[in-house]
Amino acid sequence: MATPSISIEGRTFKQTYSIRVLLAVILLGPAALAASIAFENQQVDKNSLYVAAGLTTIFVVLWILIGRTVLTIDAMGLKRQSAFGSKEIFWNQITETRYVVNPINVAGHFGLIGLLISAASRTKQANLTFRVIGSTGTQIRITSNFKDAREAIGLVLTRILPGMVSDARLRIERGETVQFGQVRLSKAGVIWKSKNPVPLTEIKSAELVGSKLRVKCTGKWLDAIAVRSDKIPNVLVLLEVLDSLAPQLRVAAIDPLARVRM
């Protein structure tokens, strides 16, 4: 598969503070309580003091380990480095992506803790999970735990999507059927599992609604397809190819959230 030559200036994406804020609440709260118990009486309670010291040490170690997780995207490909090693995938090795958006309301579920986590994260409305899979089986995950995760995913899509879409379109124009997991796409239309093809002209919408891929047909109340989006390999390629074959669905920008309705 040929990939267009798109120059990408090296970018580094570090972890947000959301997980570390959560760890602070989980570990430092009990540590402070244990410390207060330790010095509550005139005689120091060594066991409580050990608990406080142990929880604080765990927090510091985890804070450092999380801070070492870095994602780098450059002209060669993408690399994810952490305290446990590094993974790298070159652009010409990418064969598949998996993508899901989980709308979240952290504050609603966790109250004050949730508000603190939301304040520490730039992606407040949704939790993004984008997996890049290479020909060697190497996988790199880009999630909302990275600062500017949306931008990072957009950079990857800008580099790989045009080539994948072009390749799929050429195959369809030659009369082939392109498979995206349980979804197949051909000149006859969209085929879901073993059902009859849905003609392209009858597709009213194809989008990611929350965590699901939903395809609706004109005049139909039920979805023609409704499946969690990360169950479909290269789901964003599928949507882009559908756009090119069915102009009524067209979305202008390559944006990881452009097709997502919360």
Q: Where are the domains of the chain?
A: 11-157, 165-261
**Percent of the chain clearing pLDDT 70 (strictly above):** 81
Q: Collapsing DSSP states into helix, strand and coil, what is residue 145?
A: coil
Measured between alpha carbons, how far is 158 from 191 in angstroms, rounded to an integer? 27
In the predicted structure, residue 260 carries a pLDDT above the cut 80: no
Q: Find, among 140, 136, 131, 137, the residue nearest to 78 by Cα.
A: 140
Residue 223 vs residue 109, higher pLDDT: 223
Question: Residues 224-247: what's their mean pLDDT?
Answer: 92
Write down the CATH number for the domain with range 165-261: 2.30.29
**H or E element: which one contains 175?**
none
Measured between alpha carbons, how far is 130 from 89 in angstroms, rounded to an integer? 14
Is the pTM higher than 0.85? The answer reads no
Measured between alpha carbons, how far is 80 from 69 in angstroms, rounded to an integer? 7
Per-residue tokens: 30: 């009990």
Q: Which residues of 5-41 are buried (b: 16+ CB within 10 A; e: fewer)?
A: eeebeeeebebbbbbbbbbbeebbeebeebbeebeee
Question: Residues 172-179: what's their mean pLDDT?
Answer: 95
Measured between alpha carbons, how far is 202 from 189 in angstroms, rounded to an integer? 9
pLDDT tens-digit map of 132-166: 999 999 999 999 989 999 999 999 999 999 999 99
